[in-house]
Structure 1
Amino acid sequence: MNSPLPISSVLSALMKTSMKINGVLTPARQVANSLQRFCRPVCFYNEGSDYEISAAGSSFLFRFRSHLVAMCSKHQFGSESTKRTPDHYCIIIDSLNEEKIAVTPSGAATPRFGGLSEYGFAEDIYFIEYSTNQGSLDFRRYFADINFDSVPDLRSIEREQLIVLFAIGYPSDLVSYDFTLDDEFLPQDVEVTHRFSKLILSNDWDEGMDFHLTLDQHEKYPETINNLDGFSGSPVFFFFKDRLSQVQLGFAGMVRLGGNGTVHIYEAAQIQKFLNHLYPTQSG
C-alpha cells in the first residue's frame, strides 16, 4: 500500500503551481474551490408545490467538444411512483435582471447495455445536455472547460505520483431550509440553501465492480463527513505530480454510490467511452 504524501508536502506542491480553469490562471491550491462553481445540486422544479425546487444529490457541469453537459447518476431521479425525468432537471442561474431562474435542458442520454440485467447498474448515469444559448443567456460560463480528450485519469499515472483524491458534492446533512408560515401554518417563501463539501479519499482503490473503482474516505479525514448521502453524482478529481514535479489536475470519475465511508465511482475511462460515442469528433 502506497503511503500518501504528508499534508505539508501537498500544500507546498500546490502553492508552487497554477492551472487554467475556463481560461483563468488559478493557483493550484484554489483549483478545488474554483471547480466547485461547476458542481451543482441535482435540482427539480415542482410545479404547484409549496417547495418549488427540490434536490437529490450532486451533478457536474462541463463542456465536451462544444457540447454543454450535466452529468449525474440516474438513481438520483427516484424510482417507480416518485421517478423524475431529465425534463424535470434544472440548473439555477442569475437572469439578466439578477433574479434566480431555473433552466431546463434540451436533451439527455444514458448508456444502454441491450437489456442485460447483469449490466443494469452500468446504465446508472445521465448525460443531460444544454443549448449553448438559452434565449439571451450565454450558458458556456456555467460549464467547466476541461479537455476530457487529454486530461489524465487514474490509470494513466503511477500511484506514487498521486497527491490527493477528492470529490466535490452537496451532502444532505448540509442542506438547510428557511420559510415563513401563513395563517393556516403552511410554509411560504421557502428558501433552500445547499452547501458543498469536499470528500477526501484514500489513494488506494480496488476494482471489485465492472466499470467502477472503490475507494475509502481518507483515514486522516473520516470525521469531516459522517453521512455520504448527497454525494451521488459528484465528480472525483485528483492532483498528481508529473515527471517535472509540477502539480497537474486529473479526473477520476463520478461517485455513483456511497456509504459507511466507502464510495464506488464510475471510472473516468468508461465515462470517456460514453462521451466519445455520444459526441464523436468531427472528421475532415
Structure 2
Amino acid sequence: MSKDQSTRNILDRIVGTSVSFNGLLIPASALTSTLSRYVDNLVVWNDHQTYKVSLVGSAVLVRFSAHYFLLCTNHQLRGCRMEDVSLLGRDGQQLVTSSGVRHFNDESNPHYRDLAAFEFTEPCQEHPDLKERFFDFREVPPAALNTDIICAVVAGFPSKDQKYELEEKNHIGRLKRIILCELEQASYNPALLCLRTNSPLDFDPDGMSGGSAFVVQVVGREVRAYFAGVVVTGGRDRFHIIKAGDIKRFLSGLVQARSAP
C-alpha cells in the first residue's frame, strides 16, 4: 500500500467528523495542518557576520499554566551555548532569545534527562505576536485501547530538507515534514512512547528530534486530539516520544519552583 493510500485510509475513518481539540472542533480536512502547527525550527544564534544562525533540529512550543516554553532535547544542543537558543520571527529577520533554560532531573530514566525547556514568557510579553505559536497544553491523553487510537501526527524539520543559504542569499528555506503514525506496542524503553510510521520514510529523519507528536483517539463517542509528547529519537520507520504526562510533570515542577517564595 502506498503512503498516500495509507494516509487516505486513516483520514477516511474520520471524514465527516469534527475532531475535538482543546475545546475547538477541527474538521478532518484541517487536522494534520492544525496538529503540526506548534513545531518550529530549533535556532541557535551564532556570533558570525555571515552565518548568523544555526538550525539544530526541531522544537515544540507550549503554553503551560500561563508560562511559555520551548521544548527540545539536550542532545540537539551539544556544542551550543544555551543563552543563544532563539525563536526566529515569521519574517525570518528577527531573533528572540529565551529568558532561561531548565533541564529534567530524574536519575531513574536517562531519557528524561534529554528533555530541556527554554522559557519564553518574558519575551512573549514583549512580543505578543509570538503567543499564537504556542500550544495551550492543558491535558494529557487519557488511557485508551489500541482500537480507540486512530492515528498519531508527528511533525518536525529534518536537517537535510532545510535550505541554509546565508552566504549568497541571506536566506533560510524551512521545510516541515508531517508524518502519520500508529501506536507501536514494542519499545526498547517502556518509559517512551513508540510510534510506527505507516510506511518507511523516503527522507532522512535526522533533525526530527525535538519535534511534536499529537494523538487522535476515540473518547466515549467523540474523536479527540491530544498533545502526546516530544520526539527524542527517530528512524525511517518509527519514532520514540517522551510522553506528555512526563512533560506535564516536568513543567509543573518548573512553574512551582518559579512561584516559590
Give the C-alpha shift of residue 176 in structure 1.
Answer: 1.7
- State how far apart, in whole Å, the 2-side matches of 1:214 and 1:32 are: 19
8 Å CA contact 1:228–1:261 kept in 2: the answer is no
Question: Unpaired segments of 5 or more residues in structure 2?
Answer: 1-5
Aligned-residue Cα RMSD (Å) equals 2.8
Give the C-alpha shift of residue 64 in structure 1.
Answer: 0.2
8 Å CA contact 1:28–1:247 kept in 2: the answer is no
Give the C-alpha shift of residue 142 in structure 1.
Answer: 2.1
* 1:146 matched residue in structure 2: 137
- State how far apart, in whole Å, the 1-side matches of 2:253 and 2:126 are: 30
Distance 1:270 1:18, change over 3 A: closer
Q: Which string of whole-angstrom CA distances, capped at 9 and with x for unpartnered residues, describes residues 111-150 of structure 1?
A: 123xx5x744431111111125557421322211231xx3
State the SS of the aligned residue for 2:225. strand
Give the C-alpha shift of residue 274 in structure 1.
Answer: 1.1
Identity score, percent: 22
Highest Rg: 1 or 2? 1
8 Å CA contact 1:206–1:215 kept in 2: the answer is no
Match of 2:81 among 69, 79, 85: 85
Distance 1:132 1:31, change over 3 A: farther
Q: Which string of whole-angstrom CA distances, capped at 9 and with x for unpartnered residues, describes residues 173-219 of structure 1?
A: 3112345xxxxxxx34421211001122233232431521233322x
**TM-score between both structures, scaled by the size of structure 1:** 0.78
Amino acid at match of 2:84: H
Alignment of 1:42-121 (within 5 A): 42-78=42-78, 83-94=79-90, 100-113=93-106, 119-121=109-111
Match of 1:162 among 149, 153, 169: 149
Give the C-alpha shift of residue 241 in structure 1.
Answer: 1.7
- State how far apart, in whole Å, the 2-side matches of 1:213 and 1:234 are: 14
Alignment of 1:1-284 (within 5 A): 7-8=8-9, 10-20=11-21, 26-78=26-78, 83-94=79-90, 100-113=93-106, 119-134=109-124, 136-138=126-128, 139-147=130-138, 150-152=139-141, 156-178=143-165, 187-209=167-189, 211-218=191-198, 221-222=199-200, 224-244=201-221, 246-280=222-256
* 2:3 matched residue in structure 1: none
**TM-score between both structures, scaled by the size of structure 2:** 0.85
- State how far apart, in whole Å, the 1-side matches of 2:36 and 2:135 are: 10
State the SS of the aligned residue for 1:33. helix
- State how far apart, in whole Å, the 1-side matches of 2:252 and 2:111 are: 20
- State how far apart, in whole Å, the 1-side matches of 2:159 and 2:123 are: 32
Q: Which string of whole-angstrom CA distances, capped at 9 and with x for unpartnered residues, describes residues 86-123 of structure 1?
A: 211111124xxx6730000011111123xx5x744431
Question: Unpaired segments of 5 or more residues in structure 1?
Answer: 180-186
Amino acid at match of 2:160: D
Amino acid at match of 2:14: A
